[in-house]
A and B are shown apart, each in its own frame.
Chain A
Amino acid sequence: MMKVEKISENMVYQKPRLITNNTMHYCPGCSHGTVHKIVAELIDEMGLEDNAVAVSPVGCSVLAYNYIDIDWVQAAHGRAPAIATALKRLMPDRLVFTYQGDGDLAAIGTAETIHSLVRGENIVIIFINNAIYGMTGGQMAPTTLIGQKTATTPYGRDTALNGFPYKMGEIAAMMPGVTYVTRQSVDKPAAVRAAKKAIKKAFENSIGCKGTSFVEIVATCNSGWKLSPVASNDWMRENMFPEYPLGDLKNNG
């Protein structure tokens, strides 16, 4: 049997303590794994393992509870912010965050999202925007770009047929009860560090009950986009970033 000490001796990297040993179902190259890692690291580093409840959506991250080892509530499609509202109102000292995709947050759950922002709930919304429905097999999302091909826009998103992509971050920033809105990505190490810093600030806001924090991560879906992981990052930089520019949209914290 191999000795554990022998491994640690040469260890240069290990998965965060709060990431479980379950095999992730995410596709290689998907941004979810990286964001999960950041979240797990932060909960550990900020000492929130005994003070955090998360809400998972319907979408690719529906199984997030299998990977990050804290208390989770699995939500009906789009309803995570309503669930988080009650969790935080009933347990005001906890960190409460939702982890949602674009279909969940910006299509079916629009009302729940908007009204949690309207009320300025002291929660964090982590919004993974990859401009596509990953789990159901690559259909159009509300944030799908004009001309982008998906399973339900096989000839490209046509505005006459499908309307226009919209920017939930900008809408969130308009709300007086929202403290912090930022748009980040995790396509390179510097971006990962910036995203981690942003989520840390958002978590601090929730613990301090400073209003809603909305962290949008512009993300890749190489399977849905039918591109290699590397090409996906390039496509995202070229096409997604101009439509969804990175940076803070609001910072009143």
Chain B
Amino acid sequence: MEDIKLLKGNEVLAIAAIRCGADGYFGYPITPQSEVMETLMDERPWLTTGMVVLQAESETSSINMIYGGAAAGKRVMTSSSSPGLSLMCEGLSYLAGAELPCLVVNVARGGPGLGSIQASQADYFQLVKGGGHGDYKLIVLAPNSVQEMNDFVGLGFDLAFKYRIPAVILTDGIIGQMMEKVTLSPERPRRTEEELAKECGDWATTGRKASRGKANLANSLFLDSVDLEQHNLHLQKKYREIEKNEVLCEQIQVEDAEYIMVAYGTSSRICMKVVEDMRKEGHKVGLIRPITLFPFPTEIIAKAAEHSKVILSVEMSAGQMVEDVRLAVGCACKCRVEHFGRFGGVVHSPAEVYEALKALM
């Protein structure tokens, strides 16, 4: 029988981590995502699956614990909210440079600075474009329901290990705090030492140098610039591969749409209502919902732009994803690209989005 629960987005992250065989969680409390670690501490998975859960002294430390665990080939995860992610950007750059797989969750809140604790999508640039130093990419998943919060934990780990890259779940306070029905993932056991050696044996620093016959090293230092350029080329090749294979995107009534909204996460839920309301009135309105923000659904948007008059990027930010939408549409296309945002922790009401789109018709 299906295991249907009513859970908060934050709670389900914790439950899903345990159920999908995560080896460790390292984190630091910050609103609006503290329920993740609270739920884990309450569940005490170290008594059942053997999963390690540890409260670190800072987000800087958390992400470096992730670096250590990931280096050993373990399935490790952390979660935080925007100001914490700023601290983690150093570690994310190292993880990307050393090609270590892990799962990082940002339950984003308003910024800049200490900002607010209300939901925001203003960390798109930080996680999709960079944040830390150097040319790197992270796989960024943007759930828009509690069910997807559950599903993307397992998916995030799978993609992270497939490409040896950090995977990020970029969500916000609304999806973290709200409760919806969720079907939990089937339980899968943590990997045994033998399984880990088989899957990650050529790189993981498990300490088993003698049996392996060679030492493994987790490292992002290449003192010779030519070597570092080669390493960068290798990373870029991997990112192109990800762009080719891993785009996830939901399209709602896009086929005949003349007016298309592009929105992810919480904004996409609001836009879904706007599509419903406008279709009832006979307007040809659709929604493209990027599920992966990197890789971005560039081709899908470009194709939709061919038959649409206006594309409206709806974000809880001053306009970040809209840059990628513009790149996708290109200047040669006649379709207009506009942005509508509320920010600083303010969430659009469906009525506001409706009005913003109506004004473009």
Contact = CB atoms under 8 A, between A and B. Distances in A.
B206 A71 contact: yes
Nearest to B211: A50
Nearest to B98: A74
Interface string B55-91: 0111011101111110110101000000000000011
Contact of A74 (B54, B91, B221): B221
A53 B64 contact: no
Contacts of B76: 86, 90
A63 B23 CA distance: 29
A72 B207 contact: no
A83 B68 contact: yes
Interface string A24-52: 00000000000000000000000001111
Given A62-B221, A70-B215, A74-B217, A87 B64 contact: no
B26 interface: yes
B56 A90 contact: no
Q: Give the interface residue-count category, chain B.
A: 35 or more
A111 B217 CA distance: 25
A112 interface: yes
A213 to B, nearest CB: 17
Contacts of B359: none
B24 to A, nearest CB: 6
A193 interface: no
Given A65-B219, A71-B205, A87-B71, 17 more contacts: A49-B209, A50-B209, A51-B207, A53-B205, A65-B215, A70-B215, A71-B208, A71-B217, A82-B56, A84-B68, A86-B52, A86-B68, A86-B69, A86-B74, A90-B69, A95-B207, A112-B61
Interface of B: 23-24, 26, 52, 54, 56-58, 60-62, 64-69, 71-72, 74, 76, 90-91, 94, 98, 205-211, 215-221
7 contacts: A71-B209, A73-B71, A75-B64, A82-B61, A84-B68, A86-B76, A90-B68
